Amino acid sequence: LRLFGVDVGGSAIKLGAVAPDGSAREERALAPSPDAALVLDALASALRELGHRPPAPVGVGLPGLFDRRAGRVLASPNLPWLEGLAIGDELSGRLALEPASVRLENDANAAALGELWLGAGRDARDFLLVTLGTGVGGGLVLGGELVLGAGLAGEIGHVVVDPEGPPCGCGGRGCVEALASASAARRRALAAGLPAERPGDLELLAERARAGPGPERELARAIGADLGRGLAAAVALLDLRRFLFGGGFSAALDTLEAGIRQGIAERAYGDRGSSIRLERALLGASAGWIGAAAIGLPTRT
């Protein structure tokens, strides 16, 4: 196991080691803490326990905005302890690595790389991975390569669906994230008089949506349609036919699918109908660290 990856999330920090041919892997999870130094110490010792030795590079997937070259997090609205953190220097120092050997990547991009390498995207050249969680992230793969643009490509979560819609964490309004994230789904359920406060409530709503017609199915269709209207932008611009869905809320994909197809059909130019594939990602919560580790692969196919 010679490739090492870390996925920094809100509820857990996942890390692991994987063989360069993907044949074997081992993974750990750490509880997050607001104390960055504690987290970094725990992370460095967990990596060493997994067999990390210099000069093996470490890939780190993170939510938010960061400076790839400087290895510094600029903003991370959901993880305040990360903001301003020079995670590249901090982690490389603890692991006796050159700073450039700690490579940062956006968490959804890392998950897309993971799915491309060992998951649902293995046989795909072109797809968008959409992570449905507290926020909505996106990782765009074209021609078998992750597309970064100037650094922020693939952010489907901030494609505007409804300019008059609810405010979004990015400062805009009516983004996909403000309408179709797990948090948005909770808000919309509460507004529709459905229970959504407690953990597990979204799963319950999905179960009811599956069971038969009713307000839960209506809500799932409405959320799916807004998501589909956002995906229509990717279909129109790139003629993408394949979308992979990760993140906790993707467990409800089957209940959202009719709405998603409706939303795409409504807004995309030309009828692509059944050629649009909507699939759940395969690696689940491991996609992020696996993809972050894949940054260390010399070439990806």
Residues near Zn ion, by CB under 5 A: 158, 168, 170, 172, 175
Among residues 146 and 175, whose Cβ is nearest to Zn ion?
A: 175
Among residues 134 and 255, whose Cβ is nearest to Zn ion?
A: 134
Nearest approach, Cβ of 52 to Zn ion (angstroms)?
Answer: 36
Nearest approach, Cβ of 210 to Zn ion (angstroms)?
Answer: 29
17 and 62 Cβ atoms separated by less than 8 Å:
no
Among residues 174 and 263, whose Cβ is nearest to Zn ion?
A: 174
Distances (CA, A) of 24 to 3, 17, 50, 107, 298: 11, 9, 13, 22, 18
**Sign (positive/negative) of CA torsion 282, 288, 289, 295?**
positive
Among residues 166 and 284, whose Cβ is nearest to Zn ion?
A: 166
What does the alpha-carbon distance between residue 70 and residue 81 come to, in Å, rounded to a whole number? 18
SS3 content of the chain, % helix, strand, coil (to 5): 45, 20, 35
Nearest approach, Cβ of 134 to Zn ion (angstroms)?
Answer: 13
Nearest approach, Cβ of 269 to Zn ion (angstroms)?
Answer: 24
Among residues 141 and 178, whose Cβ is nearest to Zn ion?
A: 178
Nearest approach, Cβ of 133 to Zn ion (angstroms)?
Answer: 14
Strands (E) across the chain are located at 3-8, 13-18, 25-30, 58-62, 65-67, 72-75, 102-106, 127-132, 136-142, 145-146, 242-246, 277-280
